[in-house]
Amino acid sequence: MARVSRATAGAAKRRRMSRADRERQMLDVAERAFAERGYHAVSMDDIAEQVGVTKPMLYEYFGSKDGLLLACIARCRAELYERTRAAMAGATDPKDVFWRGLLAYFEFIDVHAQAYAVLAHEPMAGGGPSTGGRNDTALPAATAEAVEATRRQQVDLIAPLLNTYAPDAPAPTAEAYAEIIIGACERLGLWRLRHPEVTAEDAARHMMNFSWYGLAQIVATLQGR
Amino acid sequence: MARVSRATAGAAKRRRMSRADRERQMLDVAERAFAERGYHAVSMDDIAEQVGVTKPMLYEYFGSKDGLLLACIARCRAELYERTRAAMAGATDPKDVFWRGLLAYFEFIDVHAQAYAVLAHEPMAGGGPSTGGRNDTALPAATAEAVEATRRQQVDLIAPLLNTYAPDAPAPTAEAYAEIIIGACERLGLWRLRHPEVTAEDAARHMMNFSWYGLAQIVATLQGR
DNA sequence: CGAGTAAGTTACCATCGGTAAGTTACCGGC
DNA sequence: GCCGGTAACTTACCGATGGTAACTTACTCG
């Protein structure tokens, strides 16, 4: 148990690494650990040990445990964003844009599986008290905003798209729709974790059918008659 | 500071209460505290002090801090469920059912405001390791399932409804749609917290327009031509 | 009225997030 | 090649807090 075994590296004695490399490695280990065992079941010492360094290094790079989690989320979301953006780029037809985006999204979830489960529900986000802004520490607040930024990124990916295809709708409405889509996708992604038989394409299709045609269409078969 | 001041009660010296009463009181205090200051910013001692008892009582009744949070969530969700269910009961037209449900939902959020913000994202939900089910304690696991039950309750409120109005759709599809709707509503609820100018009715209308008519309708103005 | 039970308390432990101060490897200039 | 500065890294520690064991006190009911 005391055997630390320098984790990732082979057999060489603990080597020093550049900050950038160490950072990536820490994120890899942390993401995996959080995903497998849950956020609060993992201690900073655990992560440090797996990385092959000691705790203060984690704090040097990420400021706090929340900071580390947030950094994981930010990276993961950034990648997700890039994937979906790239997937949608190839389409011209609005429906096709939507379809490709959905498919890319659920395929991404497919790979990152559990990581997504933990990362999706970021804890805290602390709704500060209305009077008096209480900031626990410096770093977390900053990173918390960073994650909020990546979220806005998602909204800003979808909202303008809607505005392009439907210029009639006022801006707030487009934003609301973007939130709706994101929320629905996140939930459906979580749902899929409990239903392994549902493929990514199935999920995308459900989302597509619902969002594109609407409930009216679905209910129509009964009502229209 | 040492003055405990028996919180809720008037001036009488600390009185003993029945378990049921104490439990409710604890939940009231905890819900409020969590909502105002965030989950991990509130200590069990804080809550105990506000209630006018000491920590071990909280543990006697709820087993753990998670257990307490989960109990708050469960109660809150149960009330939400009851409200929406009651609201929908008065309608016959499927569209009206949907509308009333949405409105009741967002009006509930309106009142519980911040409480919802914290309670919506339950932390953990611990994705157990694939091999070997590790249960920390007895109580939390039980309450965790209780919250999962109330979630299913929400799905089970919507899914059969869809199946009633659209018997063509296979059961899994209905369930998927239910998840979509819930996810979208939760997200929209969170979005509203950051946009106070958006009324509950506005939110319900957004959700209605999107879900009922679908994006096809929205895009149609441009594409249909 | 007294005994059992349930509400409640005191005192404590262990873990873990977070930090200060010191140490060692590496790198570039002379 | 040696030297000094910087940046990676460590040891050793603290305080808060989740959680528990053992004990005490009030209420109830036969």
Range with top average pLDDT, A76-80, A139-143, B25-29, B70-74: B25-29
* Residue B223 pLDDT: 52
Contact B191 A179 (CB under 8 A): yes
pLDDT digits (tens, 9 = 90+) for A162-201: 888 888 889 899 999 999 999 999 899 989 988 999 999 9
SS (H, E, C) chain A: CCCCCCCCCCCCCCCCCCHHHHHHHHHHHHHHHHHHHCHHHCCHHHHHHHHCCCHHHHHHHHCCHHHHHHHHHHHHHHHHHHHHHHHHHCCCCHHHHHHHHHHHHHHHHHHHHHHHHHHHCCCCCCCCCCCCCCCCCHHHHHHHHHHHHHHHHHHHHHHHHHHHHCCCCCHHHHHHHHHHHHHHHHHHHHHHHCCCCCCHHHHHHHHHHHHHHHHHHHHHHHHCC
Contact B195 A172 (CB under 8 A): yes
Does residue B54 reach within 7 angstroms of strand C, measured from its CB? Answer: yes
Q: Mention every residue, 6+ apart, whose C-beta is less than 8 A from residue A165.
A: A94, B218, B219, B222, B223
pLDDT band at B110 (very low <50, low <70, confident <90, very high): confident
pLDDT band at A150 (very low <50, low <70, confident <90, very high): confident
Residue A100 has pLDDT above 80, yes or no: yes
Determine the average pLDDT of the residues in A148-174.
87
Determine the average pLDDT of the residues in A39-55.
95
Residues 25-54 of B with CB under 8 A from A: 35-41
A211, exposed or middle or buried, with CB in 10 Å at 0-12, 13-18, 19+? buried
Determine the average pLDDT of the residues in A129-150.
52
Question: What H or E segment, with its residue span, contains residue B6?
Answer: none
- Minimum Cα–Cα distance from B93: chain A residue: A223
* Residue B116 pLDDT: 73
pLDDT digits (tens, 9 = 90+) for B176-212: 999 999 999 999 998 998 899 999 999 999 999 999 9
* Residue A152 pLDDT: 85
Angle at B111 between CA B96 and CA B139, to 5 degrees: 100
pTM, rounded to two decimals:
0.85
Q: How far is B118 from chain A (nearest CA, A)?
A: 8
Determine the average pLDDT of the residues in A138-165.
77
Residue A85 has pLDDT above 50, yes or no: yes
**For residue B153, how far is the Cα from the chain centroid?**
11
Which carries the bigger pLDDT value, residue A221 or residue A215? A215
**Which residue's CA shows the smallest distance to C1' of C19?**
A56
Determine the average pLDDT of the residues in A94-101.
94
pLDDT digits (tens, 9 = 90+) for B114-149: 777 666 665 544 443 333 333 334 455 666 677 777
**Nucleotide closest to residue A25 (CA–C1'):** D8
* Residue B129 pLDDT: 39
* Residue A9 pLDDT: 36
* Residue B143 pLDDT: 65
* Residue B123 pLDDT: 52
Are the C-beta atoms of B100 and B91 separated by less than 8 Å? Answer: yes
* Residue A216 pLDDT: 85
